[in-house]
Structure 1
Amino acid sequence: MPLDGRTQTLNRLFKDKDAQDVMEHALTMLGDVAMVSSFGAESVVLLHMAAQVDRNVPVLFIDTEMLFPETLEYQAKVADTLGLTGVKTITAKRDVLFERDNENLLHLHDPDACCALRKTEPLEAALRDVDTWISGRKRFQGGSRAALEMFEVDRPLGRLPRIKVNPLAHWDSSDLRSYIETHNLPRHPLVAKGYPSVGCMPCTTRVNAGEPARAGRWRDQAKTECGIHFGGSAGQQG
C-alpha cells in the first residue's frame, strides 16, 4: 500500500487510541525506527513512553554545539534515569562547520542557514536508512503544527518517502504536566526559569506570562521552526 494510504488508515485505526498504543505500534510494526529528541522541556514524556516498549530504541539527539549546558546535563540524566541505551549524539561535520560557520556567527545574519547546517543536514544523514521516525510535536504548539496527525508521510529531498509518527499530536500542556507528575519524571532545569520551550542558546529567550510556550524561540523573527519538520523534507528543523 502506498504510504499516503497507509498513514490515512493508521490515523483512522488509532483515532481513539492513546499515545502509548501509537508508540508501541511505531516501534514494533513500522520497520527500522528511530526517535528524534531535543531533550527539551517536554521531551521526557515521549522518551519515557518509548522506554516502556524498548529501551534500546535508537534516539537521535542533535547537538548543535550551541545548546544550553543545562540541556546537555539533562540529556545525560534522562537517558540514565530511563535506561535508554540507544541514544546517539548527532553533530555537523567539523570541516563543514569550518567552511560555512567558522566564527559561529551564522545564526546572527541567517538563522535558517544555521539551522540547516547544524540540525537539518546532520539529522537527514542520520535518518538515511530509517523507515520511520518519531517526533514529539503537538497540535497545541500552534503554527504549522495546528493540524498535525499522528501518522504522516515525510518526503526527504532526493530520498524515498518514509513514515513520521507524532504520538503526542493531540496532547495539550495539561496532559504533559499530568504525565510527568504521575511518573515522577525529571524536568528540564530551564523550565522553572521561564523557558517552557528550549532550543539553542542564541535563539531562545525566556517567555513572559501569558505568552505562548514557543514565544521565546526566534523571538521577533518570522521564523517559527528550525526546518526538520517542514512538509516535504526532514532536511529543510525545533
Structure 2
Amino acid sequence: MTGVVDKPKLDLTAVNERLVDLDAERVVQWASETFGNGLVLSTSFGIQSAVMLHLVTRELPNIPVIWIDTGYLPPETYRYADELSECLQLNLHVYQSPISPARMEAIYGKLWERGTVDALNQYDRIRKVEPMQQALTDLGTTAWLAGLRRQQTESRQALGRVNLQDGRYKIYPIVNWSSKDVYYYIQNNDLPQHPLFEAGYSTVGDWHSSRPLGADDTHERDTRFQGLKQECGLHLPQSPGEAESLNSSLL
C-alpha cells in the first residue's frame, strides 16, 4: 500500500467532540471508515505495545504496522517483537536509518553519552524521526494510529483523540487510559508481556536510554533519556507553527 492517498479535511474541534466519549474500539472503527487505505499503526514493541497491536488488528488485521528499529534496542525487545509479530500475524514494516549505528558512532560519537538534550535530539532525529518520515511517505499515510496516553508526559496532557502533525492526522484511541487500564487489558486478553516489565521497567526504548523505575522517580518517563527529556521526537510537532500551537494549548 504505497503512493499518494487523498486526505480528508476534518474539523478537529467537531471531530474531537464527537469522539471524546467513545471507547477505544469505536475510535479505531471511525479511523478506518474515515481514512481507509491511508491509515497506519506505529509500534515500538515497548511495555504497553501489545495493547494497541491487539486492539487495532482485531478490527484491521492487515493494517500496515510501522516499527522504527534504531539498532540499539534491548535484546528482549527484539525477541518480544518476533513473538508479538507471530502471535498477532502483523503486517510489519521495519524501517531503520540509512546511517548504520557503527557509522553514526564513528562520525558523531556516542551521542547519548554527551549528557545534553541537543545530543539526544540529534540521535533521535537520525535514528527515529527521519526513518519514520520515510515510512509514512512510502506507505502513502494520511493518518496514523498511535498508543499515546495523556498520563505519560506533560506534552501529551493536552492531546485530543485526533490531532494534526506534520500534515497528517494522528489518532489516539487509548489517550485517556491509565497504566492500570493498560495492564488489565494485557491480562484480560492473555497477551504476552514485555520481558522487561518483570524487571521493573514501566517504559522501555533503547538500551542506553532506559532503566527500571526507581523509588525516587516521580513519573515513569523519568526513566527515559537520562531524565533530560520525555519525548523522542516521533510524537512532537515537526514545524514551528505546530509547536507554537501545542505550547499555547498547554498554557
SS at match of 2:148: coil
Deviation at 1:135, TM superposition (A): 1.0
AA of the residue aligned to 2:231: E
Q: Which of 208, 213, 222 is the aligned partner of 2:214? A: 208
AA of the residue aligned to 1:119: K
Which residue of the partner structure matches residue 4 of structure 2? none
**Aligned partners of 1:34 and 1:130: how far apart in 2?**
7
Which residue of the partner structure matches residue 224 of structure 2? 217
Deviation at 1:210, TM superposition (A): 6.2
**Equivalent pairs, count:** 225
In 2, are the aligned partners of 1:107 and 1:113 still within 8 Å (CA)?
A: no
CA RMSD of aligned residues (A): 2.1
In 2, are the aligned partners of 1:33 and 1:131 still within 8 Å (CA)?
A: yes
Assess, with a 3 A threshold, how the Cα gap between structure 1 residues 56 and 102 changes in structure 2: closer, same or farther. farther
SS at match of 2:195: coil
Which residue of the partner structure matches residue 87 of structure 1? 92
Normalised by the size of structure 1, how large is the TM-score?
0.88
**Aligned partners of 1:146 and 1:46: how far apart in 2?**
19
1:125 matched to 2:130: no
Q: Which of 130, 138, 150 is the aligned partner of 2:149? A: 138
**Aligned partners of 2:100 and 2:71: how far apart in 1?**
14
What 5-or-longer segments of structure 1 have no aligned partner?
A: 156-160
AA of the residue aligned to 1:10: V
What 5-or-longer segments of structure 2 have no aligned partner?
A: 1-6, 244-251
**Aligned partners of 1:77 and 1:28: how far apart in 2?**
30
**Aligned partners of 1:217 and 1:113: how far apart in 2?**
16
In 1, are the aligned partners of 2:74 and 2:206 still within 8 Å (CA)?
A: yes
Normalised by the size of structure 2, how large is the TM-score?
0.83
Assess, with a 3 A threshold, how the Cα gap between structure 1 residues 151 and 97 changes in structure 2: closer, same or farther. farther
Which residue of the partner structure matches residue 184 of structure 1? 190
SS at match of 1:35: strand
Which residue of the partner structure matches residue 70 of structure 2? 64
**Aligned partners of 1:66 and 1:12: how far apart in 2?**
40
Deviation at 1:50, TM superposition (A): 1.0
Deviation at 1:95, TM superposition (A): 6.8
In 1, are the aligned partners of 2:8 and 2:35 still within 8 Å (CA)?
A: no
Which residue of the partner structure matches residue 3 of structure 2? none
Deviation at 1:107, TM superposition (A): 2.4
Deviation at 1:151, TM superposition (A): 0.3
